[in-house]
Amino acid sequence: MAQTVTAARGAVLMPPPAEAVLSYAAGQTVKAAEALWPAAVIRLGEVAPSVTSYVQRVEVDGRPLFAKVSILGVSLVSVLRGVCGDWESVKAAQAAYAASPGSLLRREVLQLKTLAGPARLRVPKVAGYASGVLFTEPVTGPSLADLILREPHRTADLLGRVVDELATGLRRPGVAARVDRAPIGERSISGTFLRKFNGISGSSYVNQTGHGDVLTAVASRLRKAKIAPAPNQRVIFGDLKPEHAHFPDGPDGPVAFLDPGLQRGRPCADAAKLMSRTVLNLVCCPPTPHDARAVLSGIAAFVAALNARVDEADRDAWLRQLVLLWLMDTTNILSTYLTAPPGLPLSAHGAAVVTRAGAVCQMLEHASATMASRTPARTWWRLCLDDALMAVSA
């Protein structure tokens, strides 16, 4: 589980410098690779910009791999903001955390094996794990985000295939028992939202975004929203983003799934995150108006197909929960990018989110403001899609 470090009374903690944290992670990557492959030639490659974990390309005797380091199971943004203490405290805690059987990446190793084993799904092959560093083989082929950008009129089909293929795998015998032994609850949409936007510390956090007034109102509305209890929660992927679904054999082949966060959760949660990030991609890298409408129409058709599978009496509640989780997830990732310290490199997508933050905030403001109305969920959903289209055009 994620860890935090509490300062002594009266102590003033300086947030860890980005250069020190990134240099440490690179050093741990080398040490872990040398421990796993002592006679091999290790070459470090490009660092993949990330606000969550440290990710770097590595070659081991010419074999291409990705290395991932998680600092205390929290995002790099949180570490660099000082949430876990100063750098000396973080380093001391990280040594124990990396050795813990419950560390985030140890659980990710188990989950990748579960997906490749009883779930019979395609995932990156685990090359090794040591000292808190996970090494996996690269996955080739376009991502779901790439395909939607390339073929916007196939949006509904592509989203549906990803969700259906995943759901089939996660329902297979033996999967749930394994997930229950090593869930990754840290990637829950609602759990992340409630951790970020909680009282005094939440207000301080929001004020660091540069859009404090709007996001304070949005977060307040979302926190007041009631999520109906879901006693029989099923296994979900937990972190289903368009960039976490790849098509190694092309758009008509099986899907490969990256970076799992398997856990028990609401059946609509995976679709909500997939929808949230697809809309965010549209708003932050706007295509032509024609293509934007095609993608949003595809999302609407995808959601309608999923909603039709729900018992008629539960459809309104299901759709309301889906939209609520969408708005929570978008608020989560927007605030993460906006509070990233200058020393942490952002991906091109992350930089685009920061640039288009005003449009994203406007979408969240409008969508959350209409949430409290007594209109059916279907009406609210249509209004939210209209808000998304306006944000793309803003």
Kindly write down the DSSP assignment for every residue of 256-287, as one continuous string. EE-S---EEE-TTHHHHHHHHHHHHHHHHS--
Structure tokens at 59: 């070659």
Where residue 191 sits, what CATH number does that domain have?
Answer: 3.90.1200
Kindly state whether residues 112 and 156 are assigned to the same domain.
Answer: no
Kindly state whether residues 271 and 129 are assigned to the same domain.
Answer: no
d(CA 383, CA 370): 8
pLDDT at 16: 96
Q: How many CA atoms lie within 13 A of 286 on its CB side?
A: 16
Question: In the chain, which residues have pLDDT < 70?
Answer: 1-12, 200, 228-229, 374
Polymer length of the chain? 394
Question: Is 1 within the bounds of a domain?
Answer: no
Kindly state whether residues 378 and 340 are assigned to the same domain.
Answer: yes
Among 102, 119, 136, which residue terminates a domain? 136
Question: Is 66 within the bounds of a domain?
Answer: yes
The distance from CA 244 to its chain's CA centroid, rounded to whole angstroms, is 9
Question: Is 5 within the bounds of a domain?
Answer: no
Kindly state whether residues 130 and 62 are assigned to the same domain.
Answer: yes
State phi, psi for 287 to the nearest 5 degrees: -85, -165
- Residues 83-139 have pLDDT tens digits of 999 999 999 999 999 999 999 999 999 999 999 999 999 999 999 999 999 999 999
| Rounded CA Rg of the chain | 21
pLDDT at 48: 96
d(CA 145, CA 164): 17
Kindly state whether residues 124 and 171 are assigned to the same domain.
Answer: no
pLDDT at 278: 98
Output b/e per residue, 174-188; b: 16+ Cβ within 10 A. ebbebbeebbbbbbb
Angle between helices 199-207 and 212-224 (to 10 degrees): 150
Kindly state whether residues 305 and 386 are assigned to the same domain.
Answer: yes
385 and 275 Cβ atoms separated by less than 8 Å: no
Which residue has tokens 């995932």? Answer: 123
Which residue has tokens 């100063």? Answer: 86
Q: How does strand 263-265 pair with strand 133-136?
A: unpaired
Kindly state whether residues 163 and 279 are assigned to the same domain.
Answer: yes
User: 66 has which bridge partners?
Assistant: 57, 136
Question: Is 8 within the bounds of a domain?
Answer: no
Among 106, 136, 166, which residue terminates a domain? 136
Which residue has tokens 């990754």? Answer: 184
Number of structural domains (the chain) is 2
Where residue 40 sits, what CATH number does that domain have?
Answer: 3.30.200.20
Question: Is 385 within the bounds of a domain?
Answer: yes
The distance from CA 20 to its chain's CA centroid, rounded to whole angstroms, is 25
pLDDT at 373: 72
d(CA 327, CA 155): 20
Instruction: Give the DSSP H/E element, type plus range, for residue 51.
Output: none
pLDDT at 7: 42
Closest to 329 (Cα-Cα) out of 242, 260, 239, 266: 239
pLDDT at 6: 45
Kindly state whether residues 39 and 118 are assigned to the same domain.
Answer: yes
Closest to 209 (Cα-Cα) out of 15, 357, 16, 51: 357
Structural domain span for residue 66 = 18-136
Closest to 215 (Cα-Cα) out of 199, 197, 195, 192: 197
Kindly state whether residues 163 and 289 are assigned to the same domain.
Answer: yes
Question: Is 7 within the bounds of a domain?
Answer: no
353 and 280 Cβ atoms separated by less than 8 Å: yes
Which residue has tokens 């540069």? Answer: 210
| CA distances (Å), origin 234, targets 124, 279, 314, 345 | 24, 25, 16, 36
Q: Is the dihedral of CA 118, 120, 121, 122 positive or negative?
A: positive
Structure tokens at 307: 């909603």
Structure tokens at 46: 């490009």
| CA distances (Å), origin 252, targets 4, 106, 161, 162, 242 | 44, 32, 9, 11, 16
Instruction: Classify burial at 224, counting beta carbons within 10 Å of its beta carbon; exposed 0-12, middle 13-18, buried 19 or more.
Output: exposed
pLDDT at 9: 38
Structure tokens at 238: 């937990």
Among 136, 160, 194, which residue terminates a domain? 136
Kindly state whether residues 336 and 359 are assigned to the same domain.
Answer: yes
